[in-house]
Structure 1
Amino acid sequence: MIQAADLREWRDQDVLDTGGHKIGVLEAVYVDTTTDETAMATVRTGLLTRHRLLFVPLDETIAVPGYLKIRYAKSLVRKAPSIGTDDVLPAEQGAAVFQHYGLAYEPGTRGERQLARR
């Protein structure tokens, strides 16, 4: 598993899909609040004046010099929930990110969010 501290060093590096197609660049890392392990990242996509941040899971991510390769296809990632570059993910939308990728969403025992930006 790639640690959050390591991934921060990859900020602004390209993120590629399973076929080697560029999706965008790594913007931020999110950890699972129950385990404090890396869970998701946001990938910056779009034109210079209209960027958005797409959420991608980091399970099975491969880090090599110059880029990160995720296990999801670009077509799936492009349809993922997104936020503006100055926005934060509202707690009530966290489940939608996990659902989009077919992953289980488990909020904390008191209903706290599962994802936190690091």
Structure 2
Amino acid sequence: MTILVQDLNQWKGAAVVDVTDAKIGTLASVYVDAATDEWLFAAVETGLVGFKKVVLVPLDGAAVGRQDIRVAHSKEAVKNAPTFGPDEELGPDDEPRIYAAYGMGYSPASTPSGRRLARR
């Protein structure tokens, strides 16, 4: 199933689960490729109230279920990825670290800022 960015934005607050149906957290927002506007990562809120963190999870291979979004990564892999505060902006060194955490190749985008990710 193809997931469109506007469709994922309608799923904010939905559960995000891993390949074994283990809940990772809830969808907070979607990050898209700044050059192509294609979805790349789900910003997933994890943790308890007052201790919330956000982790970016690749959307490649993701699927929408009846009430959740299933990503193609294990909860353990997501737990080992960099986390951010709920309102924290990504810095210039964050993008390569996020890609590396999932074993993905990274190259700066051909945008004026050289940044690849844009929050939607």
Secondary structure at the aligned position of 1:76 is classed as helix
Tell me the distance in 2 between the aligned counterparts of 1:58 and 1:13.
15
> Sequence identity, in percent?
36
Secondary structure at the aligned position of 1:44 is classed as strand
Partner of 1:60: 61
Tell me the distance in 2 between the aligned counterparts of 1:79 and 1:31.
22
Tell me the distance in 1 between the aligned counterparts of 2:4 and 2:99.
20
| TM-aligned CA deviation for residue 108 of structure 1 | 2.3
Partner of 1:4: 5
Does 2:101 match 1:100?
yes
1:1-118 equivalences in 2 (<5 Å): 1-109=2-110, 112-118=114-120
TM-score, reference length from structure 1: 0.95
Aligned residues: 118
Deviation per CA, 1:32-68: give whole Å up to 9, x if none: 1122100001110001110000110000111012100
Aligned Cα root-mean-square deviation (Å): 1.2
Moved over 3 A (4+): none
Which shows bigger deviation, 107-116 or 3-12?
A: 107-116
Secondary structure at the aligned position of 1:91 is classed as coil
